[in-house]
Amino acid sequence: MKKLAVLFVIPFFLAGCEEVQKVDTKNDTGKQVMSLDYRDFDQAASDMIQSLLHSGVLSKKDGSRYVLATSKVTNDTMQRIDTDQLTAKIEEDMMNSGQVVMTSAVGGKESNRDDTVYGMRDVRDSSRGEEFNQPTMPQKGQIIAPELSMSGKIFQRNLRYDSDKQQVEYYFQLKLTDVKTGLRFWQKEVPIVKRGSNKTVSW
């Protein structure tokens, strides 16, 4: 039994000794994969934010900032993707531009909302609210409604390129809509196309 236990433990010990290499994400020249990786998300986010900022739609005449909510970004690929990986980078760059402020009061995903915003209002309306310094408590009518909403989709197409290769096309789509009027201010589609062996899976 002792010999069997040793034989069982050794492979796990050896696996733990495998060399691990830290990736320099700024200068990564590693092998490309057929599925989406962080480089693809960085490229799509960069292309989209450049298009948006150069379009001029975020420039208000009075110099103030738009209030933006992130709505739903749908994943219609064969992969399990957290779309926050795309939107988080875009939100960061938009806020850094000084033209947009994000709202955490509403949004298409729970990750875009901060529960404390409404949690403190629940406290305010309960007996516990009396324990707080009242001027520091959020009052009714203070939440700022979003002016713009950002929504989008990521979808995938698999094509046969030739007898040995396949082509996988990913399309990143993003739209910016005026919440009051429903008018769309801006939209952008960024394709990411990969070609490789038919033996390579894309999920």
DSSP one-letter code for 199: T
Tens digits of residue pLDDT in 161-189: 888 899 999 999 999 999 999 999 999 99
Structural contact between residues 186 and 66, judged by C-beta atoms closer than 8 angstroms = no
Task: Please tell me the distance from the alpha carbon of residue 30 to that of residue 91, in angstroms, as a whole number.
Answer: 27
The pLDDT, as a whole number, for residue 110 is 80
Contact 197, 166 (CB under 8 A): yes
Residue type present at position 177: T
Three-state secondary-structure class, residue 50 = helix
Q: What is the CATH number of the domain that holds 81?
A: 3.40.50
Tokens matching residue 93: 């760059």
Is residue 173 included in any domain, yes or no?
A: yes
Nearest to 153 by CA among 180, 110, 187: 187
Which pLDDT value is given to residue 192?
95
Question: Mind listing the pLDDT tens digit for each residue in 73-130?
Answer: 999 998 888 888 889 999 999 999 999 999 999 988 787 889 999 999 999 999 999 9
Mean pLDDT along residues 23-30:
71
Structure tokens at 12: 């796990």
Domains in the chain, number: 1
The reported pLDDT for the residue numbered 32 is 81
In angstroms, rounded to a whole number, what is the distance separating the alpha carbons of residues 153 and 44? Answer: 12
Residue 16 in domain: no
pLDDT category at 12 given cuts 50, 70, 90 is: low
Question: What is the span of the domain harbouring residue 164?
Answer: 36-125+142-197
pLDDT surpassing 90 at residue 140: yes
